Amino acid sequence: MDFTLPDEHRMIQEVVRDFCEAELEPIAQDIEDEHRFPEEIFEELADLDLMGVPVPEEYGGAGGDYLMYAVVAEELGRVSGSVGLSYVAHTSLGLMPIVKFGTEEQKEKWARPLAEGEGMGSWALTEPSSGSDASDMDTMAEKDGDEYVINGTKQFITNATVANSVLVKAVTEPGAGYDGISTFIVDPENDDGFEVSTVWDKMGLNASPTCEIQLDDVRVPEERLLGEEGEGWNQTKKTLDGGRISIAALSTGLGVGAFEAARQYATEREQFGSPISKFDAVRDMVVSMDRKIERARLLTHKAATMYDNGEDVTRISSLAKLDASEICREIAEDAVQVHGGYGYTTDFAPQRFYRDAKLMEIGEGTSEIQHLVLGRELGL
């Protein structure tokens, strides 16, 4: 537990930790094996008023701040990377842009149900050919009367099969580059032409659906344009500032889960008449895990606090995401090593953390892209 947190944040941390240990931990490996999105877990998170933590109460949220949200994300990641990933994608990507950029009518109709946990949110930016150059976009939205007609393909979209709304990025002014991209609220249940064409089998995080979606003449009314035409890319950059904090928090949680498993095993497993924690090589690995976690958490909490204070967080959120994502993979790998042969089996959690951790270095901007962002922020 982080006892430097304000009392309210610490109370939420304890509530989420108790819930995860009682309800989520017993099924964490099962839902991965079954590739099953655990709807019941998200219903219980909604009952705990946790599906809209950083959303103002007037729009159905808990009225918390981003630091509180980061605490929740870490606790979920400590037990299940899949649940944590779907949770942060719902909050940072599917919900918060509506709160930040939407009209009052959009907030009431689309943000409130997500914040209250009556539905899941999703965000569709990446395309099959775009990769890290997310602005290289082929999806088009053409104005037709009082509607927009959207055509295109989106790739690696979290929560698409379970979403009640998807924020789709599309080009509204060809040739205008960044200034020609806009954001639309798409209703996957009721908008004809929206189809989930693929649900990917992945190296990890298989209880969180990752999808390819097809948009074939999807008609959305103009009142579902988020903000103004051409504001989509600026919205994306602001969204990713917050999204990277959530990935940093999730990564820290994954690291904590792997560390705790390694520490427990090292103190219980005996070889040559002693717990393996007494051997320098094992002890030093576990000590290094603890050091890395503290560093990642401090960076993440600093980024979240600056975000809550309205400061520019492009540099610090990128730094937190880069550091936390890389350390969680390092910690998970060492946790497998501490367990030896058992670490390679699904009877022990480190293999799951190891597989889940790798995405943290890819999603919401690869480590290489974070170096690019940080270089720009440093004037390099």
Q: Which of 17, 22, 28 lies closest to 349, judged by CA?
A: 28
Active site residue 361: no
Query: The whole model's pTM is what?
Result: 0.95
Please write the tens of the pLDDT for every residue from 159-200.
999 999 999 999 999 999 899 999 999 999 999 999 999 999
What pLDDT sits at residue 1?
43
What pLDDT sits at residue 271?
87
Query: How far is the C-alpha of 380 from the C-alpha of 34, rounded, in Å?
Result: 46
What pLDDT sits at residue 3?
54
What pLDDT sits at residue 87?
98
Among 75, 364, 368, 377, the one annotated catalytic: 364
Which residues, given as ranges, of the chain have pLDDT below 50? Answer: 1-2
The SS3 call for residue 245 is helix
Query: How far is the C-alpha of 12 from the C-alpha of 245, rounded, in Å?
Result: 18
Q: Which domains does the chain have, with CATH numbers?
A: 7-120 (1.10.540.10), 122-230 (2.40.110.10), 233-377 (1.20.140.10)
Token pair 């009640």: residue: 164
Long-range Cβ contact pairs of 16-21 (< 8 A, separation 24 or more):
16/48, 16/50, 16/71, 16/72, 16/75, 16/76, 17/75, 17/78, 19/44, 19/45, 19/48, 20/75, 20/76, 20/78, 20/79, 20/80, 21/79
